[in-house]
A and B are shown apart, each in its own frame.
Chain A
Amino acid sequence: MSQKNSFVRLTLSYLMLIILSVCALYPSIWVVVSSFRPGGSLYSKNFFPEKWTLAHYETLFTGTQYTFDIWYLNTLKIAFFTMICSVFLMTLSMYALSRFRFRGRKTMLTIMLILGMFPSFMSMIAIYIILLQLNLLDTHIAMILVYSAGAALGGFIVKGYFDTIPRSLDEAARIDGASHLQVFLKIMLPLSKPILTFVALTSFTGVWGDFIFARLVLRSKDNYTVAVGMYELIASQTNSNFTLFAAGCVIIAIPITILFLILQRFLVQGLTSGAMKG
C-alpha cells in the first residue's frame, strides 16, 4: 500500500518536474530554433523550420546596417571595466564597514539604505546633465564611471558575507604584525571568493542587460552596446526582423548563461549569505 502510494507520488512529482522544465526551457529553445529559420517573420507554421540557415548570424556580423561585432566588443569592454571598478569599490567600502567601528559608521549605513529606496530613474536627468557638462556624453568612460560609482550602495550582500568571517582571524594576523592592508589582501579576499565571484558576475552581466541608461548616453551607432542595438532592432520592426533579433539574443545569452551555470555554486552561496541577513 505505502509502496504504491509512494510510486504515485513519485510519478506525479516527476511529471510536475518535467512540465516545469518545459516551461523554463521552451522560450530559449524557441529562440534558438527561430534564429536558424529562413526568412524574417515571427510567424512560422511549424516549430522546427524545414530548412536551417546561418544567414542571420552572418548578417549580424557582416551586414552594414547592424555592426554587431563592434557592439559586442563595446559591451565586453564596458562590462569588464565596470566589473573591475565595482568589485574594487564594493570590497573596499564593505570591508571598512564590516570590520571597523568608527565614528559615522551607522550614519553611513543608514544613508546607504535610504539612498537605495529612491527609484533609480530619479537621478537620470541630473546624471545626464552632469555628463553633458563634463563633455562625456556618447563615451564609454561615462558608462563605466556611472555604473561603478554607485556600486558601493549595492554592497550589503558583500558586507553580510564579510560579517560571517570570524574576526579572530584578522585580529590574530594583526597581532602577528600584519598591516590592515595585508589583512585585507591576504586573509579577507581569499576567504570571500564566493561572494566576490557573485558580485563580479552580477555587475558584469548587468551591463549586458541595461538599455535604459545606455540608450540615454550612447548616441552614435558605433558606440552602442548590444543591449541598445538589440532594443533598437526589435523596437523598430519586430515582425520583419524577428529571426535576426533571435540570432542576436542567442549570441548575447549563450556566454552569460554558461558563465552563470559554471558559477552556480557561488551563486547559491552569494544569494543566501546576502539575503538571509536581510
Chain B
Amino acid sequence: MMKRHRNTAAILSVALQGLGQLYNRQWLKGIVFLCVQALGLYYLVPRLGHAIWGLVTLGETTQKFVKVGKSTELVKGDHSIFLMLDGIIVILVLLVFVLIYALNIYDAYQNGKKRDEGKAVRDFAASWNHVTVNHFPYFMLFFPVLGVLFFTIMPILFSIMLAFTNYSAPNHIPPAKLVDWVGFQTFIDLLQMKSWSNTFFGLLVWTVIWAVLATVTCYFGGILVALLIQSRGIRFKKMWQTIYIIPYAIPQLISLLVMRNLFNAKFGPINQYFAYFGLDGLPWLTDPFWAKVTLILVNMWIGIPVSMLLALGVLTAIPRDLYEAAEVDGATSFQKFRIITMPYLLFATAPILITQFAGNINNFNVIYLMTGGGPAKGDYQFAGSTDLLVTWLFNLTLVNNKYNMSAAIGILIFIMIASISIWSFRRTKSFKEEDMLS
C-alpha cells in the first residue's frame, strides 16, 4: 500500500503548521492552523529568549542611580519576581502552542492516511461536526481548564519555585535587590536552623493535635446530636434540626468575630456570668492552654452542624427491614443500635473523616479570627502559641515578607496532606473499583 500522502502531509505539517492540511485539500482547516501558528510565533518569538534568560538568571542588574548632567536619575534594573512570573507564563503559552502543533501533525498524518486508502477527507463543516460530537467533553472543559491553569496551576508552580529562591525580606526584595536560586537552602534552614526548626516543629505538633481533636470532636458531636434528634419519642424533629443548623448558616467571619468578643476576658459576657456565680473567670484567649481549649470549643460550635446533617442523612437512609429482621430475632433496642445503627453510620460517614482532617490542618479562619495566633510565644519565629502552620505561612507572606520560607512551608503542608490522602485512598474499598476517582 502506498504511504505517499500520509508522509508528505505529515512532513509538510512539521515544516509549517497547516501546510499538511492544505496539501490534503482541507483549505479552511489549513488556514486556521496557519493563523494559529502565526499568532503563536508573533507572541513567542520576541518573548521566548528573554523569558528563558529571566527564568535562569532571575535578572542580572539591579536598579541604580546614574548621573545625567546635573541630576541623578533612577535607572530601572531587572525585577527578579516579574521575570520569573513572565517566564512561567511564556512557557505555559509555549506548551499550549506545542500541543496544537503536535495535534496538527497528527491530523495531517491521519488525513493523509485516509487519502492513501482512497477515502475522502472531511470538509470543514464535517470536521467541525465530528469534533463537536466526538470530542464534546474537551469543548466543555475548555474554559474551566483555562481558568484553573492560569489562576491555580500557574500560581502554585510559581510558589513552588519561590521556595528554591532567597526571595525574602530584608535582603532580597526587588526592585532594590535581585533574587537568586538557592536550591534546597530554604528547606535546610527551615528544618535545621535552630530558630526556624524550633518554630516549625512546635507548630507542626500543635497542628496535628488540633486537626485530630477538631475532627474527632465535631464528628462524634455531630453524630450524637443526630442520634438525639432521631431518638424515639422526640417531637418537633424538624424544629430542632433547624435550630442546630443556624451556626452553620451564619457566615464564619461574622460568627468568629462575635465569638472573639464573647470570650473577651475583661468585658465579654461569658466571664461576666462567671463573676455572677462568684467565679474568677478564665483567660479564654490570653492563656496558651485556655486559648487552645476555646478554639476547640468554638470549632465544635461551627463544625457540629455539618456532621449532624450528614449523620441525619445517613440515619434516614438505613433500610427499615434491617430493624424488622432484628426485631423478629428478638433484639432489644440497644442491641439494634449497637449492631445496625452504629456500624452503618460509621461506615457511611468514615470517608468524610479524612476530608475533614485535611480541612482542619488548613483551618485558617478559626485560628486567625479568634486568636490571631496569639498569645505570643517568645522563642517562636514570627508565630504565637496557637498558630497553625497555615496561619504561620500567611503571616510570613503578608506581614514578614519571608516569601521563600512560606512557600517551603506550603510545600511541606502539601506533602503532609497528600500522604494522608493517599494512605486513606489505599485503605478505602472504592480504590479497587473501576471508577476509583468517580
Q: Does A associate with B in a complex?
A: yes
Residues on A close to B: CB < 8 A? 6, 9-10, 13-14, 16-17, 20-21, 23-25, 27-28, 30-31, 41-43, 47, 89-90, 92-93, 95-100, 102, 105-106, 108-110, 113-115, 117-127, 129-130, 133, 145-146, 148-153, 159, 163, 179-180, 205, 208-212, 216, 227, 230-231, 234, 238-239, 242, 245-246, 249, 252-253, 256-257, 259-261, 264, 267-269, 271-272, 275-278
Do B155 and A123 touch across chains, with their CB atoms under 8 A apart?
yes
Known contacts A13-B228, A123-B156, A276-B351; A24 and B246 CB within 8 A of each other = yes
Contacts of A16 in B (CB 8 A): 228
Closest B residue to A162 using CB positions? B438
Do A211 and B151 touch across chains, with their CB atoms under 8 A apart?
no
Do A122 and B267 touch across chains, with their CB atoms under 8 A apart?
no
A163 in complex: contacting residue of B413, B428, B438, CB < 8 Å? B438
Known contacts A96-B140, A150-B147, A205-B251; A126 and B155 CB within 8 A of each other = yes
Additional A-B contacts beyond A119-B410, A149-B148 (18; CB < 8 A): A17-B228, A30-B262, A100-B136, A102-B135, A110-B437, A115-B148, A118-B413, A121-B390, A123-B158, A150-B147, A150-B151, A179-B133, A227-B251, A253-B250, A253-B254, A257-B250, A261-B242, A268-B313
A267 in complex: contacting residue of B254, B309, B421, CB < 8 Å? B309
Do B140 and A252 touch across chains, with their CB atoms under 8 A apart?
no
Do A257 and B159 touch across chains, with their CB atoms under 8 A apart?
no
B403 in complex: contacting residue of A41, A42, A125, A151, CB < 8 Å? A125
Q: How far, in angstroms, from A30 to B418 measured CA to CA in the complex?
A: 41
Do B437 and A127 touch across chains, with their CB atoms under 8 A apart?
no
Q: 1/0 per position for B383-425, CB-CB distance to A under 8 A?
A: 0000000100110011000010011001001100110010000
Do B155 and A43 touch across chains, with their CB atoms under 8 A apart?
no
Contacts of B358 in A (CB 8 A): 117
Do B140 and A95 touch across chains, with their CB atoms under 8 A apart?
yes
Closest A residue to B420 using CB positions? A117
The B150-168 residues at the A interface (CB cut-off 8 A) are: 150-156, 158-159, 162
Q: Is B325 on the interface with A (CB-CB < 8 A)?
A: no
Do B418 and A117 touch across chains, with their CB atoms under 8 A apart?
yes
B133 in complex: contacting residue of A41, A130, A180, A267, CB < 8 Å? A180
Q: How far, in angstroms, from A79 to B438 measured CA to CA in the complex?
A: 30
Q: Is B217 on the interface with A (CB-CB < 8 A)?
A: no
Q: On chain B, which size bracket covers the interface?
A: 35 or more
Distance in Å: Cβ of B208 to nearest Cβ of chain A: 15
Please report whether the interface of chain A is mostly helix, strand, loop or mixed according to DSSP: helix
Q: 1/0 per position for B353-368, CB-CB distance to A under 8 A?
A: 0110010001010000
Do A276 and B397 touch across chains, with their CB atoms under 8 A apart?
no
Known contacts A13-B228, A276-B351; A121 and B250 CB within 8 A of each other = no
Contacts of B145 in A (CB 8 A): 93, 152
A-B contact pairs, 7 of them (CB 8 A): A96-B136, A105-B137, A115-B156, A119-B410, A123-B152, A149-B151, A271-B306
Do A252 and B147 touch across chains, with their CB atoms under 8 A apart?
no
Do B148 and A21 touch across chains, with their CB atoms under 8 A apart?
no
Q: Is B352 on the interface with A (CB-CB < 8 A)?
A: yes
Distance in Å: Cβ of B413 to nearest Cβ of chain A: 5
Contacts of A99 in B (CB 8 A): 137
Distance in Å: Cβ of B23 to nearest Cβ of chain A: 27
Do A119 and B413 touch across chains, with their CB atoms under 8 A apart?
yes
Residues on B close to A: CB < 8 A? 81-82, 85, 132-133, 135-138, 140-141, 143-145, 147-148, 150-156, 158-159, 162, 225, 228-229, 231, 233-234, 240-255, 257-259, 261-262, 264, 266-269, 272, 301, 306, 309-310, 312-314, 348-349, 351-352, 354-355, 358, 362, 364, 390, 393-394, 397-398, 403, 406-407, 410, 413-414, 417-418, 421, 428, 430, 435, 437-438
Do A146 and B151 touch across chains, with their CB atoms under 8 A apart?
yes
Do B245 and A122 touch across chains, with their CB atoms under 8 A apart?
no
Do A211 and B253 touch across chains, with their CB atoms under 8 A apart?
yes
Q: How far, in angstroms, from A70 to B72 measured CA to CA in the complex?
A: 45
Do B234 and A10 touch across chains, with their CB atoms under 8 A apart?
yes
Known contacts A25-B243, A98-B438, A123-B155; A129 and B137 CB within 8 A of each other = no
Do B249 and A92 touch across chains, with their CB atoms under 8 A apart?
no
Do A92 and B152 touch across chains, with their CB atoms under 8 A apart?
no
Do A209 and B253 touch across chains, with their CB atoms under 8 A apart?
yes
Known contacts A113-B421, A151-B147, A272-B310; A242 and B261 CB within 8 A of each other = yes
Do B246 and A25 touch across chains, with their CB atoms under 8 A apart?
yes
A256 in complex: contacting residue of B250, B262, B272, CB < 8 Å? B250
Distance in Å: Cβ of A44 to nearest Cβ of chain B: 8
A260 in complex: contacting residue of B229, B245, B306, B410, CB < 8 Å? B245
Do A17 and B229 touch across chains, with their CB atoms under 8 A apart?
yes
Among B153, B258, B390, B417: residue with most chain A CB under 10 A: B258
A122 in complex: contacting residue of B82, B258, B393, CB < 8 Å? B393
Do A129 and B82 touch across chains, with their CB atoms under 8 A apart?
yes
Q: How far, in angstroms, from A89 to B136 measured CA to CA in the complex?
A: 15
B249 in complex: contacting residue of A127, A260, A277, CB < 8 Å? A260
Distance in Å: Cβ of A269 to nearest Cβ of chain B: 8
Q: How far, in angstroms, from A163 to B82 measured CA to CA in the complex?
A: 43
Known contacts A109-B437, A264-B242; A227 and B152 CB within 8 A of each other = no
Contacts of B398 in A (CB 8 A): 124, 216
Closest B residue to A106 using CB positions? B437
Distance in Å: Cβ of A70 to nearest Cβ of chain B: 19
Closest B residue to A148 using CB positions? B147
Do A119 and B249 touch across chains, with their CB atoms under 8 A apart?
no
Distance in Å: Cβ of A5 to nearest Cβ of chain B: 11
A234 in complex: contacting residue of B144, B252, B257, CB < 8 Å? B257
Closest B residue to A258 using CB positions? B249
Contacts of A126 in B (CB 8 A): 85, 154-156, 158-159
Contacts of A238 in B (CB 8 A): 261, 264
Do A115 and B152 touch across chains, with their CB atoms under 8 A apart?
yes
Contacts of B406 in A (CB 8 A): 121-122
Contacts of B253 in A (CB 8 A): 208-211, 227, 230-231
Contacts of B393 in A (CB 8 A): 119, 121-122
Distance in Å: Cβ of B242 to nearest Cβ of chain A: 6
Q: How far, in angstroms, from A257 to B250 measured CA to CA in the complex?
A: 6
Distance in Å: Cβ of B414 to nearest Cβ of chain A: 5
Do B421 and A149 touch across chains, with their CB atoms under 8 A apart?
no
Q: How far, in angstroms, from A95 to B144 measured CA to CA in the complex?
A: 12
Q: How far, in angstroms, from A278 to B355 measured CA to CA in the complex?
A: 8
Known contacts A230-B257, A249-B258; A20 and B251 CB within 8 A of each other = no
Do A117 and B137 touch across chains, with their CB atoms under 8 A apart?
no
